[in-house]
Amino acid sequence: MKFPKKIFKHPKPLIKGNEVSGDNEDNEVYSKFNLSESIGMNRKHLETIFEDCDDIIYREVKLYRDEEIIDLLLIYTNNLVDAKEINENVIKPIGFYSLANNDNHMKEEVILDTIEEIVSVHAISRVNNFEEIVATILLGNTVLLIEHYDVALILNTVGGDSRSIEESPVENIIRGPRDSFIENIHTNIGLIRQKIKSPSLKAKNLIIGSESQTIVSVIYMESIVNKQALENIINKLNEIQIDGIFDSGYIEQYLESSPYSPFPQMQITERPDKVCGNLLEGKIIILVDGSPMALILPISFFQLFQSPEDYYERVLYGNFTRLLRLLGFIIATSLPSVYVALISFHHEMLPMDLVIDLSRTRAQVPFPPVIEALLMELTIEFLREASARLPGTIGQTVGIVGAIVIGEAAIQAHLASPTMVIVVAITALGSYILPHYSTSYALRMIRFPIILMAATFGAFGIIIAWSWVIVHLCSLESFGYPYLSPLAPLDADVTKDALIRGSLRRFKERPKTSNQKNQTRW
C-alpha cells in the first residue's frame, strides 16, 4: 500500500480552528515558531506544549560517529505508532551505524543525509517549525530532533490498533466479495486501489475539523468524472467549519442541498465493490477517516433499490430481486393506507364475503381503523428500535417474541383486528427488503402522512399524498443530477439500469453522470 507522500511534504495548514479559538497563549507560542539548534530547548518547548499528555514518549538515542556523539531525540505518541517499526527501523539502524566505523568528515548536511540513509522508514521528510511537528506527532509519526540542527526529521511510523477487514454486518449479500471498509482511511483507500488499478483513480485528501484533524478523502476517476461537480464538492468541503468530524454522516449533512427532504441525496456503503462500480460510472466517493461508511454522490432514486448482487447474478435473477424490492417499497408505503381507505371509505371495493368477515372482526374493536393502524405501526417502530439496540441474540428474540406475542395479545384483547396485524406485518417485512438500512427511514417517514391523508380523504387522499411525494422527488436534485433520472427526464438508460437491468453487454455506454467526453466504457 503506497502511502501518498504529499501529506508529509506539505501538510495542509491547520484550518481556521486556530484563529477561532481566540487569543490563546499557545497560539503565539507555537504558531510560527521554528526549531532552535539546542535540542534541550526544543525538548522543553515540546514538553510545555504536551504538558500532561503522558502518552507522548521522549526517547533519547545517541549516534556515534568518529568519536562524535550526536544526541538524537525521538518523540512519538505511544498508541499511534507502530512500536515495532520504531524499534527495528529507527533505533536499531542507528545503533548499528554507531558500531560500524565511518571515515567520512563531511559538512553538516551529511549528518542529515546520513540519518536519512540509515533510518529505514518508508517515508521521511524534513520540518523546521513546531506547528507541523505537533501535527505530525499527533498523526502517529515520529519526530527525530538532532542536536545542533534546527531541522528535524519526520519518520512515518503510523501504526496503532484497528479492526481487521471482515464482512459488513449490515450489508451482507449472498454472492459477491465480502470485504468491507474499516475505520482506517488508508486501509480503505487501499481496498479501493486493489480493485481499480489505474493511475486515473485520484484520491484527494483534505483535513477537516479543527480539533479532530480528520482526513477526508475525495476519490474519483479523473477521466470519467464531471469536473464541475467535483469542483463544486471540493469547494463546499473546504468551507466546512466544525470542530470535530467523527463519521461520514457529518459530511453528508454539510454537503446535501435539501436537508429536510426525507430522501437521502447520497448513498452510504461499506463495500468497496459497490464503491468501485460507482467510480467507474463517474460518481464521486468521499471517505472519512474513522468511519467505515463511504459516501457516494450524486445518486438517483433508483439507486436506493440497487444492490451489487443484482449485477453479479444472472440477468433473470437480478431483475427478479430488483422488481421484488420495488414491489416491497410500494407495498410498505401504501398498504396500511390502502387498508384504512378501503375499510373506512370504499366498502364497495371489497368482495362481499370479505366484507362480512371484516365487519364481524371490526365490530369488536373499539377504535376507528386509523387509530388502530397508528397504534400497531408505533408498536412495530418501538420493536424495531429496541431490537436494534439490544445485543445479538436478545435482540432477535425480542423481535420475534414481541411481534408474535404482541400481535396475538392485541387481537385477543380486541385492540386490533387480525387483518390489521397482517397488514402491519407485511409492511414491516416490505420495508426490510431495501438493500440498505438507512433508506428505510425514508419509507417510514412518508408512510405516516399517507396514512393520515387516507384516513381523512380515502382514495383521493392517497392520490394527493402520492402526488406530493412524486412532486417532491421530481424537484429534488442530488448535486445537479435530477433525482428521478432516468425516468424523468426520460432516457434510454431506463431499461438498462433503473428498474430492470439489461445484460452486461449493453453497459457499454456510461450513464449520464459522467463526463460527456468519456461516454463509452470499453
Partner 1 sequence: MKKIVKVFVLLILISSLAGCWDATDLEELLIVYGLGIDISNDNPDQYFFTIGFPTIIPEAPEKKHEFSTEAPSLGRAKNNLQQKVYRQISYDNIRVIIFSEEVAKQGIMVHIDSMLREPLFRGTTRFAVAIDRAVDMLTMEPPVSLFISTFLFDSIEQNYEATLVPITTLRNFSHEYYADGIEPAMPFICYGADKTELNVGCVALFQGDKMIEYFSGDNSRAFMLLRGEIHGGIYTFELMDGFVSINLKGGSGKIKTELINGELHIYHDIFINCVLSEHTPKHEMLSANSIKALETQLEEKIKKSLRNALDILQNELKNDNIGYGKYVKANHPEYFDGESWNDQFAKAIIHVNPTVRIRALGVTP
Partner 2 sequence: MYQKYKNGEISAVQSFIIILSMSIGAGVLGLARVVSEVSQQDAWISVFINGLFISFIMIVIVYTISRFPQYNFLQYTSYLLSKPLGYLVSIAYSVYAVLVAAVVIRFLSEMVYTWLLPNTPIYIANFIIVITVVYMNKSGITALARFAEALAFLLVPFALLIFVGLPEASFINLRPIGGSGLVPILKGTIPSFFSFAGYEALLVYYPYVSDKQRPIMKYSVSALLMITIFYTAAVAAQIALYGPQEIQQVLYPSINYLTAVDFPIIERTEIFFTIFWTFTVLVTVGIQYMAGCIVLQNIFVTRKTSFFVYLLSPVVYLLSLYPQNTAEVVDYGDKVGKLNIFFGLLLPFILFIMYFIKGRKNHYEENS
- Point out which residues bind partner 2 (CB under 8 A): 226, 228-229, 345-346, 348-352, 457-460, 463-464, 467-468, 470-471, 473-475, 479-482, 484-485, 487-490, 512-513
- Closest approach of partner 1 to the CB of residue 361, in Å: 9
- Closest approach of partner 1 to the CB of residue 350, in Å: 9
Choose from partner 1, partner 2, none: what does 299 bind? Cβ within 5-8 Å by kind. Answer: none
**Nearest CB to partner 1, comparing residues 154 and 376:** 376
* Amino acid present at 478: S
**Nearest CB to partner 1, comparing residues 247 and 477:** 477
344: contact with partner 1 by CB under 8 A? yes
**Nearest CB to partner 1, comparing residues 324 and 363:** 363
Are the C-beta atoms of 424 and 336 separated by less than 8 Å? yes
Where would I find the H helices in 161-225?
185-195
Say how many C-beta atoms besides its own lie within 10 A of residue 317's C-beta.
Answer: 13
Are the C-beta atoms of 134 and 30 separated by less than 8 Å? yes
At 142 the three-state DSSP class reads strand
**Nearest CB to partner 2, comparing residues 271 and 512:** 512
458: contact with partner 1 by CB under 8 A? yes
**Nearest CB to partner 1, comparing residues 279 and 335:** 335
Are the C-beta atoms of 387 and 399 separated by less than 8 Å? yes
Place of cell 409492511: 427
Stretch that binds partner 1, among 1-9, 320-328, 346-354, 394-402 (CB under 8 A): 346-354
- Closest approach of partner 1 to the CB of residue 354, in Å: 10
- Closest approach of partner 2 to the CB of residue 494, in Å: 10
Give the total of residues touching partner 1 (CB under 8 A).
21
412: contact with partner 1 by CB under 8 A? no
60: left (phi over 0), alpha (psi -120 to 50) or beta: beta
Nearest 5°: the CA angle 341, 403, 379 is 55
- Closest approach of partner 1 to the CB of residue 368, in Å: 6
Choose from partner 1, partner 2, none: what does 471 bind? Cβ within 5-8 Å by kind. Answer: partner 2
CA dihedral 42, 44, 49, 53 (to 10 degrees): 120
Residues near 81 by beta carbon (within 8 Å), at least 6 away in sequence: 140, 141, 142, 157, 158, 159, 160
Stretch that binds partner 1, among 36-44, 221-229, 322-330, 448-456 (CB under 8 A): 448-456
Report CA-CA distances (Å) from 74 to 58, 304, 390, 421: 6, 50, 46, 67
375: contact with partner 1 by CB under 8 A? no
In the chain, count H helices and then E strands: 19, 12
Report 351-370 residues binding partner 1 (CB under 8 A).
Answer: 352, 355-356, 358-360, 362-363, 368-370
459: contact with partner 1 by CB under 8 A? no
Picking from 294, 206, 182, the residue whose alpha carbon sits closest to that of residue 15 is 206
Choose from partner 1, partner 2, none: what does 344 bind? Cβ within 5-8 Å by kind. Answer: partner 1
**Can the peptide bond before residue 298 be classed as cis, meaning omega within 30 degrees of 0?**
yes
**Nearest CB to partner 2, comparing residues 320 and 345:** 345
Residues that bind partner 1 (CB under 8 A): 343-345, 347-348, 352, 355-356, 358-360, 362-363, 368-370, 452, 455-458
